[in-house]
A and B are shown apart, each in its own frame.
Chain A
Amino acid sequence: MSTSSAAKRIEAYAGRPEELIQALQAVQEEVGYVSEETEERVADTLGIPIGRVHGVVTFYHLFRTRPAGRHTIRLCLGTACHVLGADRILAAIEEELGISVGGTTDDGLFSLDVVRCLGTCSLAPVMMIDDDVYGRLTPARVVEVLDAYAGEEAAG
């Protein structure tokens, strides 16, 4: 099902190589990541070499080449977060979830990414889970937030 919906999204960009990035963003929005098959399909549909598609996918940080968890954690490692202890927050998340940066939990609930700056420095240290911002994190508070997501999931 997801493959056909991805194909449909790609089709909208047929023959428009200048919209390669939007095409890839659309696929990722649909299925969570850009697979090798997706790269091939995008190359064929837009009429460009697969090397160019792969070059773009690997150049930009926000493209994932492996399936993502249901929730994506984006922990900020910008300057303000750095000086206010983002490394301790990262350690707490990694310990709590048992994954490292770039990984996805076994239950598929969370993926963990780090980003350069979320532009919410006044809340440092800060992270986003999907589109929601969580600020003034402490190692204890970040575990509470993760637990809340896990609890919600369990409650279904």
Chain B
Amino acid sequence: MSAREVRVCSGTACRSAGALEVHVRLAAAVDAAGLPDEVALTETGCMGPCARGPVVHVLPDDVLYTEVRPEDAEEIVREHLVEDRVVGRLLWAEGLEAPSQIPFYKHQRKNVLANSGAIDPDRIDAYEAGGGYGALRRALTEMTPEGIVEAVTESGLRGRGGAGFPTGRKWRFTLDAPGRPKYVVCNADEGDPGAFMDRAILEGDPHAVIEGMAIAARAIGAERGYVYVRAEYPLAISRLRTALAQARDRGWLGTDVLGTGFDFDVELRIGAGAFVCGEETALLASIEGRRGAPRPRPPFPAQSGLYGRPTLINNVETFANVRTILRDGPEAYASVGTASSKGTKVFALAGQIRNTGLVEVPIGTTLRELVFDIGGGVPEGRELKAIQIGGPSGGCLPADLLDVPIDYESLTEHGAIMGSGGVIVLDDTACMVSVARFFLEFTASESCGKCVPCRIGIPTMRDILVRITEGEGEPEDLDRLQELAELVKSSALCGLGQTAPNPVLSTLRYFEDEYRAHIEDRICPSGVCEALAPPYRIDPEACRACDACAKVCPTGAAHGTPGEPPYEIDEELCIRCGACYKACPFGAVTRGARS
């Protein structure tokens, strides 16, 4: 048994920041210091603070190092592991050593992510040592299928893919549905831009997902399962492959598991890049080798799913919750969360926020806690404008709704949705009309084209938004958008179309003044829309009269005398090309609303 363990985060973000090289250098330094027997090095899944990677965690000392460069490895080994002195300059902040002291971690509650960042996801031994596959053993040896479904129902778990359908009821429908064989399908086609929760779970703790699927298979009586994972996640795919092979080797998958007569195996299906395949009926069509077009429900997949057979389809995070319900009991699970939304939820924080990364909080946590206490707020000198939650199906909530608790009902009431858990923070440099346009361009291009409201309605809304952002909006456009959005929402065939208007509806609801500024004043207040950008200005305090702006200005709008600040920009001559903005070495050229 090693005296110390050094964990190196090897999630996608830390890898791309050089974590593998850090690991190699740490290993070499540990060897060189003659410590290979005293120090165990572990490559783990995501630890969360992706913005601060690569991250290294030393135990049992419980010291977290951030932004570790390969050349820091020798110092960590020499100072910390040999001399027992913490390397202060690599800490999160002065005096903050343990994750439990760091605000980013202090407000979290890790349940689904407990193993991610703690164990080597490529070693089934590590998973089993922490009680892994114990829940499956219980399900097979101590519980009836009825009992499992009851436990999941009592826990109050709701689908983590977005809509929040009660998981226990879905399992019940599939258990009760006549017909064989039955299938269990894991939706790992995490397509919402801004979402990376499922990627991190698959990369950090793939066995938890497999165990959840096997328990589900026992509950509903399925013999075959599929994980449909998107091709954009090569690391998640390779970790799943490894985990599946190990689970078969150990007898957790295959025939007659634990001698109980339970037969179950799981196959991987790799997506081919179609957002609509996150919709469950489209996903099933894709597994069958067809175009991913959704079909009307009912019949629901529980009655008629894959190959027309009863099929249970849940998302990655939902399956990853299952083993903890059986392990701790449904009451313990239901003790976390709100009256109607139980347990924890994983969120991906990104956009204009300090601590981008992966976090897990009890459902019912407020947006303020999520964005400020954990996320550290927006970058220095900027102001929070909106929180985009739920991806292309979700909405933009303004800063004055920060105290809304994050649960299924509250978010829906305010025009957003829980969605899969992607949270994009927007500061005052964002243009909300252009954000709405971005999402509608996305959904217009991802519409499968099967139903008219989605195929025609979304591009029509997109065209109006394009017009507004190009300075050709008309006063009637706001009513047109509202009417179209409500029409598409109420008449599209599947979830993609029904929720696609949400970014338009929520920005109209909370940021109507920005739409009006574009249409009536012909100004994009944040300067994002080129055609409506306010003129550039020079901050007289910051200007050093270096003449850089005047040199590049094609119209002579930027002018002044070298060495005699400040320079000025003639608003009439300025064509908003931005050359001065890029050329200024002092950041003195700014762009913003007219004062």
Contacts and interface: CB of A to CB of B under 8 A. Distances in A.
Query: What 6 A-B pairs are tightest by C-beta distance, nearest first?
Result: A78-B193, A122-B50, A121-B350, A60-B272, A61-B273, A117-B193
26 contacts: A21-B286, A22-B269, A25-B231, A25-B272, A52-B290, A55-B291, A59-B291, A59-B292, A60-B272, A61-B272, A74-B232, A78-B194, A79-B194, A79-B391, A79-B422, A79-B438, A79-B439, A119-B12, A121-B351, A121-B356, A121-B422, A122-B349, A122-B357, A123-B17, A123-B50, A128-B232
B352 A135 contact: no
A115 interface: yes
Given A120-B196, A132-B16, A135-B17, A83 B424 contact: yes
Contacts of B190: 119
B272 A21 contact: yes
Interface string A106-124: 0000000001111111111
A89 to B, nearest CB: 15
Nearest to B190: A119
Contacts of A63: 272
Interface in A30-74: 52, 55-56, 59-63, 74
A56 B290 contact: yes
A74 to B, nearest CB: 8
B241 to A, nearest CB: 14
Interface stretch (A1-9, A12-20, A146-154): A12-20
Contacts of B348: 121-122
B404 interface: no
Given A21-B289, A120-B16, A115 B232 contact: yes
Given A61-B274, A118-B232, A131-B234, A80 B13 contact: no
B424 A60 contact: no
B234 A119 contact: no
B196 A119 contact: yes
B51 interface: yes
B369 interface: no
A141 interface: no
Interface of B: 12-13, 15-17, 50-51, 190-196, 199, 231-234, 269-275, 286-292, 307, 348-352, 356-358, 388, 391, 422, 424, 426, 430, 435, 438-439, 442, 446, 448
A131 B352 CA distance: 26
Contacts of B288: 18
Nearest to A56: B291
Contacts of A121: 193-196, 348, 350-351, 356, 422, 424
Interface residues of A, number: 42
The interface centre, meaning the residue of B50, B307, B351, B446 with most chain A CB atoms within 10 A of its CB, is B351
A122 B349 CA distance: 7
Contacts of A120: 12-13, 16, 196
B423 to A, nearest CB: 10
Contacts of A17: 289
B274 A82 contact: no
A19 B446 CA distance: 23
A119 B195 CA distance: 6
A80 B350 contact: yes
Given A25-B270, A117-B192, A118-B232, A124 B350 contact: yes
Given A22-B270, A117-B193, A122-B358, 18 more contacts: A21-B269, A25-B272, A52-B290, A56-B290, A60-B271, A62-B271, A80-B194, A83-B424, A116-B193, A119-B12, A119-B233, A120-B12, A121-B348, A121-B350, A124-B350, A132-B16, A133-B12, A134-B16
A97 interface: no
A99 interface: no
Given A133-B12, A133-B16, A116 B191 contact: yes
Nearest to A118: B232
A84 interface: yes
Nearest to B391: A79
A83 B427 CA distance: 10
Contacts of B357: 122
B15 A116 contact: no
Contacts of A22: 269-270, 289
A57 B520 CA distance: 45
A116 B358 CA distance: 20
B351 A79 contact: yes
A148 to B, nearest CB: 14
B255 to A, nearest CB: 22
Contacts of A115: 232, 273
A131 B446 CA distance: 24
A19 B289 contact: yes
A65 B51 CA distance: 37
Nearest to A133: B16
Contacts of A60: 271-274, 292
B446 A83 contact: no
A54 B299 CA distance: 29
Contacts of A128: 232
Contacts of B352: 83-84
Contacts of B424: 79-80, 83, 121
A116 B275 contact: yes
A53 B349 CA distance: 39
Contacts of A82: 193, 438
Contacts of A25: 231, 270, 272
B351 A80 contact: yes
Nearest to A115: B232
Contacts of A74: 232
Nearest to B528: A83
Interface string A89-100: 000000000000
A83 B16 contact: no
Tell me which of A18, A60, A81, A84 has the highest count of chain B C-beta atoms within 10 A of its own C-beta. A60
Contacts of B191: 116-117
Contacts of B231: 25, 62
A83 to B, nearest CB: 6
